[in-house]
Structure formats: structure tokens, C-alpha cells
């Protein structure tokens, strides 16, 4: 008997836009056919989708995590595939993801969210910054296809989850957005004792925010939540890689005044030069994957370090996060 569970793809957004039309178009080209789609907006809206099985729902003005829960409750599928409205899947996305669920110990599957090749210049810079190892460290696989592996924390822009445990645990995660996916994955792996698989073939293309405002606003939100989670959920957030930008920020604050002291000026300049060489090398290397201006990528890497470092520090000091 062929293993072919039903999948419900959930796309939450405020209102219909060109990006979600693109997403639906690519869903229509999936090689795996046992699926339907839930598009959930603030107010009731719909569009012509041809023969694609799409349910249009409205939720009122609520965050995406609540929209996803509402859609999952309406669904009768075994699997819930989460994707952002500004992302679109590769043709074999569901086919490769579903295959992993033949193993009952697999509770979720994720894959890379790659910058689309037709994104604009500012978006390409943002994608190149995220794909830099100087920024994402060992988490580069979230932005570029890398080897098959097991993970314990994965973003909801490309995450396929078994429906029943999703509905069981997601109400505990609604306090946070962004960041609800971090808590959800923690519950799925620690409480359920199951596995989350990363497969490079389970890929989507994810449109980036523009450099500079949109990109840094997103980085700031990620950093504040991760800083807070480092103390609230240390199992997956109290990791050295997340503290490096804050250490870098402190290094800037401490080392720059030392330039006025002749005895330590050369070592400080040497450290700055070493960092600069790493940034330039990473920015030039980004041309392999993105049509990005290396100079803007270099500036973006530096400012991303500063932004994340400051946001993470703020998150560490917060007693609680606002909605």
C-alpha cells in the first residue's frame, strides 16, 4: 500500500497579495497531489485558483500563529504544512517531505528557505547576509540547501508537522510571535520525544525583506525573542552562537576607545582588520548564490551583527515579551 497521507498547506496573511498568488500557483505544480490549501486572512477574501483545492478563511486581526491553529482545526488532514505567504515551494516539496513521515518517530520535517533568483537587488543583499556563515554560523542550512540532518528548532516558514501533536501543543505557543516555532519544536522534540528532520530537498523560495529597514526590523525582532528565549527556553536557545553578536557589540564598545592609547592601538587595529577581511571575504563569496552588491553585503553583515547583538541583549533583560 502506498504511503500517501493527506496534507493541508496553511498560508496565513493579513490580506491577499501578489506573493500569495505566486505561492498558490506553485502549489498547483506539486508532484504530490493528496493535499488541500487553507488561505487565512484578516477579513474574508478569495481569488480564482482554477482547480486547486483552496479553502479561504478569515480570522480577524490576529497573529499568524493563531491563524495557523484555526486552519489546522478546520482541516481533516494527517499533516499540516506551514508556509509563509511570501514563500513558494519547489515542485517536489510535499513529495520529499511526506516520505519522511513513514517513520513514526518523525514528527516534523523542514527544509531550506532560499532567496528567489528574481528577487530585487535589496532583497538579494538581505538573502546574502542571512546565508553568510558570519551571520548564521552553523544555521546556514536554513537559507541554503545543506546535508540531511536532525534538528530541534526550525522556522515555521517551511515546516510540515503531524496535525494531532501540532494541535495539542500549539495553544501553548501562542504567547509569542515571532518565536512560537521555537517553543513548538521544543515541545515536539522534548515532550513528545520525536524527531524533526531537515531535508534539503524540502525546499521553498522565500522572498527577503529589503535592505535596509525591512531587513533590520526583522533581525531585531528575531534577536529580542531569541535573547528572551535564552533564559526562558535554554534547551534550544542557550547556545554560544546566539551570544556572539552581543559579544561583538561589547567588543566594539570596549575596543574603539582603546584606539586613543598608543600601546594597544596596533593590536586593536589588527583585530578590526581581521574582522574586516572576514566580512569582505564572506561578501565576495555571496556572489556564488546571490546577485548582490558585495559592498552592501559587507555593510549588511556588520550592521546585522550590531542589530542582533543589541536586540539579543534587550531580550535577555526582558521579564516578559509583548504580543
pLDDT band of 256, cuts 50, 70, 90: confident
pLDDT of residue 142: 98
pLDDT reading at 268 higher than 90: no
Q: Which of 84, 31, 74, 32 is nearest to 54 (CA)?
A: 74
CA distance 185 to 173: 10
pLDDT band of 12, cuts 50, 70, 90: very high
pLDDT of residue 323: 57
CA distance 164 to 314: 35
CA distance 125 to 138: 20
pLDDT of residue 160: 98
Average pLDDT over residues 242-261: 86
pLDDT of residue 126: 96
All domains of the chain, ordered by start, with CATH? 7-111+154-208 (3.90.550.10), 220-317 (no CATH)
pLDDT band of 90, cuts 50, 70, 90: very high
pLDDT reading at 250 higher than 70: yes
Mean pLDDT of the chain: 94
CA distance 323 to 320: 10
Model pTM score: 0.93
CA distance 124 to 288: 12
CA distance 144 to 132: 10
Q: What angle do CA 35, 36, 42 make, to 5 degrees?
A: 145
pLDDT reading at 290 higher than 80: no
What tens digit of pLDDT does each residue of 61-86 get? 999 999 999 999 999 999 999 999 99
Q: By the 8 A CB rule, do 275 and 184 touch? A: no
Q: Which of 136, 131, 128, 153 is nearest to 236 (CA)?
A: 153
The residue length of the chain stands at: 323
Average pLDDT over residues 88-94: 98
CA distances (Å), origin 118, targets 17, 51, 127, 132, 218: 17, 27, 12, 19, 21
Average pLDDT over residues 214-225: 96
Counting other chains too, the contacts that 245-254 makes at CB distance below 8 Å and 24 or more residues apart are: 245/304, 245/305, 245/306, 245/308, 245/309, 245/312, 246/308, 246/309, 246/310, 246/312, 246/313, 247/309, 248/305, 248/306, 248/309, 249/305, 249/306, 249/309, 249/310, 249/313, 250/309, 252/306
Amino acid at each position: 500500500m502506498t504511503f500517501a497521507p493527506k496534507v493541508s498547506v496553511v498560508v496565513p496573511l493579513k490580506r491577499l497579495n501578489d506573493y500569495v498568488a505566486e505561492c498558490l500557483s506553485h502549489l498547483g505544480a506539486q508532484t504530490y497531489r493528496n493535499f488541500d490549501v487553507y488561505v487565512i486572512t484578516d477579513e474574508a477574501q478569495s481569488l480564482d485558483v482554477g482547480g486547486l483545492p483552496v479553502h479561504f478563511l478569515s480570522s480577524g486581526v490576529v497573529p499568524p500563529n493563531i491563524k495557523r491553529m484555526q486552519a489546522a482545526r478546520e482541516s481533516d488532514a494527517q499533516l499540516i504544512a506551514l508556509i509563509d505567504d511570501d514563500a513558494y515551494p519547489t515542485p517536489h516539496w510535499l513529495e520529499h517531505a511526506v516520505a519522511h513521515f513513514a517513520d513514526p518517530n518523525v514528527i516534523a520535517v523542514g527544509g531550506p528557505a532560499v532567496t528567489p533568483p528574481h528577487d530585487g537587488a535589496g532583497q538579494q543583499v538581505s538573502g546574502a547576509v542571512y546565508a553568510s556563515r558570519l551571520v548564521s554560523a552553523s544555521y546556514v542550512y536554513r537559507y541554503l540547501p545543506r546535508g540531511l540532518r536532525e534538528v530541534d528548532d526550525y522556522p515555521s516558514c517551511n515546516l510540515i508537522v503531524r496535525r494531532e501533536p501540532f494541535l495539542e501543543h500549539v495553544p501553548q505557543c501562542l504567547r509569542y510571535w515571532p518565536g512560537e516555532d521555537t517553543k513548538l519544536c521544543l515541545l515536539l522534540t522534548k515532550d513528545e520525544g520525536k524527531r524533526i528532520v531537515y531535508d534539503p530537498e524540502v525546499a521553498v523560495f522565500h522572498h527577503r525583506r529589503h535592505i535596509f529597514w525591512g531587513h533590520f526590523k526583522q533581525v531585531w525582532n528575531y534577536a529580542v525573542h531569541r535573547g528572551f528565549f535564552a533564559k526562558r527556553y535554554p534547551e534550544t536557545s542557550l547556545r554560544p552562537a546566539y551570544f556572539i553578536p552581543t559579544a561583538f557589540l561589547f567588543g566594539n564598545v570596549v575596543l574603539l576607545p582603546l584606539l586613543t592609547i598608543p600601546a594597544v592601538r596596533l593590536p586593536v587595529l589588527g583585530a578590526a582588520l581581521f574582522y574586516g577581511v572576514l566580512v569582505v571575504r564572506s561578501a565576495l563569496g555571496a556572489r556564488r548564490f546571490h546577485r548582490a552588491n558585495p559592498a552592501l553585503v559587507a555593510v549588511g553583515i556588520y550592521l546585522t551583527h550590531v542589530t542582533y547583538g543589541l536586540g539579543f541583549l534587550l531580550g535577555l533583560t526582558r521579564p516578559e515579551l509583548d504580543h
